[in-house]
Amino acid sequence: MIERTVARQLFFGILLCIAATMSAVADGILDANTASTEELTGLAELNETLVETILVNRPYETIGALNELLSQSLDADTLESLYGKLFVPLKLNSASDSDIQLIPGVGRKMAHEFEEYRPYTSMEQFRREIGKYVDEQEVARLEQYVTLE
């Protein structure tokens, strides 16, 4: 009886871990260059035509290229909402000011801070430098949008 209870607890513990992992992935930002048709279709801001447009025009070198395409059909508020869920990762050491400002909530001043500390040699450097201006939670949010490639 005790073994069955332990096995049941272990089973439910594993299920909780799997659910937490899936939730963390679901909360992440999709890469517009690799998101599946199903993932794109699940975004409220995109209709079937826009999903197909995104897929056909891949790959996107920058978020600016994707923005140029989508801004023909979506207004600024809808794009900002969408970019909270779908983005083309920014190359920290070469992204343009206008591309950096496409990150939801990033304005001219924060874009300047991104650029000021170039070249970045590690994500730890990014966290440390940007962490001078925003709290740890915001640094973690911003980090989802960037890469060192």
Question: Is 118 a domain residue?
Answer: yes
Question: Is 48 a domain residue?
Answer: no
Question: Is 117 a domain residue?
Answer: yes
Domain that holds residue 98: 89-149
Task: Give the pLDDT confidence score for residue 121 in this predicted structure.
Answer: 97
Question: Is 148 a domain residue?
Answer: yes
Task: Give the pLDDT confidence score for residue 16 in this predicted structure.
Answer: 37
Question: Is 104 a domain residue?
Answer: yes
Task: Give the pLDDT confidence score for residue 149 in this predicted structure.
Answer: 81
Task: Give the pLDDT confidence score for residue 111 in this predicted structure.
Answer: 98
Question: Is 13 a domain residue?
Answer: no
Region of 147 please: left (phi>0), alpha (psi -120 to 50) or beta. beta
Question: Is 74 a domain residue?
Answer: no
Q: What share of the chain is helix, strand, coil (3-state, %, to 5)?
A: 55, 5, 40
pLDDT along the chain (149 residues), means of 10: 51 39 54 98 98 98 98 98 98 97 97 97 98 97 95
Which sign, positive or negative, has the C-alpha torsion 44, 45, 50, 51?
negative
Number of domains composing the chain: 1
Closest C-alpha to 43, from 54, 142, 23, 131: 54
Task: Give the pLDDT confidence score for residue 18 in this predicted structure.
Answer: 38
- Other C-beta atoms within 10 Å of 46: how many? 21
